[in-house]
Every structure is written in C-alpha cells, then in structure tokens.
C-alpha cells in the first residue's frame, strides 16, 4: 500500500483547510527549495500568502518547481548556484531583497543523504556532507539574519535529522550525521546570539521521509524498496511524507511560536521517543 494512503483520514488536510493568510506578504527564502521538503514548504507558504525565493544547485529542478508552484512567476523567484562561502550567501539574500524587498523567514533544507561505512568514506564524502548541509546553513543564515534585522526580526527554521541526535546502525552516515549535528548546534548558538534582534532559530529533526533525495544514490525502484522496508522502523507505522514536515516548519516560522527559540522538534513518527537513554536503560534492566 502506498505510504500516503496509510495517513489516517482524520490527519489529512487539503490546501484549502490550511489557508489563513498568516504569511501574507512575508518573504520566505528556502534553500534546497526545488524538491522534496523544500518544494512542499514553498507550496504551503504560497498558500498562506507569502512570496518565496527558491534556492538550489540545479537550475532545471528550480525551474520545474517554479512552473508547478507559480507558473506566472509573480510570487516566486529562483536562484541557482552552490553556496560555498559568505559571498555566495550574500548574493542569494541580495537577490531576495532586490526582488521582494527583504527576508522574513529562512528555511535551511539543503542536504545530501548518502550512507557509506565510516572506514570507506573519503574526503569527497565528507566535503559533500559539509558542502550540502553545514556551509550553506552557516553562511545563508548569517546573510539572512542581517536582512531580517533591517525588518525588525524574523525566523530561521533548520531541517535537521534524527541522525544528528542518534546513530542508526543500519544506515552508516557519519559524514551526514556530523554535518547535521553542526546544523543542530548552530540552532542553539544562533538562537542566543540573534534573540536581541528578534530573530528566532529552531530545528525540525526528521526520520525517514519520502523524497527524491534517496534517488541520488540508488535507482527509483531501489529507493521504493528501501522506503517500504523502513515503515516498521517508525512507532507510528509508516515513513514520513513531506506534508508531515511542512506544518512544523510553518509553525516555527509563524507568530504561533513567537516565544520559542533554540529548540529541536522531532518530526519522526516517534523514532527518537523509542531511542531515548531512559528507555534503553529500562530495556537493559528488564533483560538482566
């Protein structure tokens, strides 16, 4: 059965169920905005009245996303390129400011997930993880925070990972985990430093979510087989879908969370609840 069909009917909502205009005329910058969670978040922000800038490394993917989300291109802009340092990040934010007048929300959703055993990892594997996760998060957050300060505040939402919190033996991802742990660490550091500027910083930590990202290192059929196999890994009995994640992103970005900063919210089907140290201690005691 398709994973989307396993979402209980009571939990399913259409776009019209959500629309309240709560981000009317806000400017949202989404890195990794061309597909998966980034594109799903862009759709919801647009539903709520925002103007959205989509950033990513592949122009064709961004153009396809824009064609799906905003065919006229009146409420979206796309900026393609690798963010390797401060200069590229500043150029990205400058493009958003030039087009829409500022930045109110940043969603850092870049990342390449590639399981490789630690003893087989190369410099290229580590650089791929750092270059797709930590560096763009660091530099774009800095540039966006400067723009947010000029507008009196804003929100940064990082798309993090349970792999930054806990190790999963079946998916050896030391480089990815280290880079995501850096993203998580930035959440608390930036939350404290940017609080006087009324800029909030929070993270959502994900388990297995069905996105095209898995097809970067396996065929579509292999990706489907793997994703079908991990449903039981989640206490709620299924893998996540992008729409499971985006409402948490919008919550952190919006006024409903105006007194929340520096936190990490697991959006993981219950995985981290079952992997807490206390639970493991109880299991060990019971086994003894």
Catalytic residues, which ones?
176
| SS3 category, 7 | coil
| SS3 category, 47 | helix
**Cα(257)–Cα(259) distance, integer angstroms:** 5
- Phi, psi angle pair for 247, to nearest 5°: -70, -35
Cβ atoms of 229 and 180 closer than 8 Å: no
**Cα(221)–Cα(176) distance, integer angstroms:** 23
**Cα(52)–Cα(100) distance, integer angstroms:** 9
Q: What angle do CA 140, 144, 147 make, to 5 degrees?
A: 155
**Cα(276)–Cα(270) distance, integer angstroms:** 11
> Can you read off the two tokens belonging to residue 190?
């930036």
């Amino acid at each position: 059965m398709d994973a989307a069909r396993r979402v209980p009917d009571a939990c399913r909502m259409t776009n019209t169920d959500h629309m309240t205009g709560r981000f009317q005329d806000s400017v949202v910058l989404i890195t990794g905005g061309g597909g998966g969670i980034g594109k799903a978040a862009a759709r919801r922000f647009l539903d709520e009245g925002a103007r959205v800038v989509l950033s990513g490394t592949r122009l064709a993917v961004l153009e396809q996303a824009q064609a799906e989300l905003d065919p006229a291109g009146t409420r979206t802009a796309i900026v393609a390129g690798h963010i390797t340092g401060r200069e590229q990040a500043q150029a990205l934010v400058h493009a958003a400011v030039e087009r829409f007048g500022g930045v109110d929300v940043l969603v850092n959703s870049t990342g390449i997930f590639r399981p490789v055993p630690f003893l087989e990892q190369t410099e290229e594997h580590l650089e791929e993880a750092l270059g797709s996760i930590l560096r763009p998060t660091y530099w774009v957050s800095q540039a966006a925070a400067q723009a947010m300060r000029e507008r009196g505040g804003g929100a940064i939402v990082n798309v993090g990972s349970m792999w930054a919190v806990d190790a999963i033996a079946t998916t050896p991802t030391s480089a990815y985990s280290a880079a995501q742990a850096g993203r998580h660490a930035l959440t608390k550091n930036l939350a404290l430093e940017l609080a006087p500027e009324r800029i909030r910083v929070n993270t959502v930590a994900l388990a297995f979510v069905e996105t095209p990202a898995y097809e970067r290192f396996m065929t579509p059929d292999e990706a489907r087989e793997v994703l079908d196999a991990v449903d039981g890994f989640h206490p709620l009995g299924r893998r996540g879908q992008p729409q499971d994640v985006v409402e948490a992103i919008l919550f952190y970005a919006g006024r409903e969370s105006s007194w929340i900063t520096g936190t990490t919210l697991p959006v993981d089907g219950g995985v981290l609840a079952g992997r807490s140290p206390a639970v493991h201690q109880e299991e060990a005691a019971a086994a003894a």
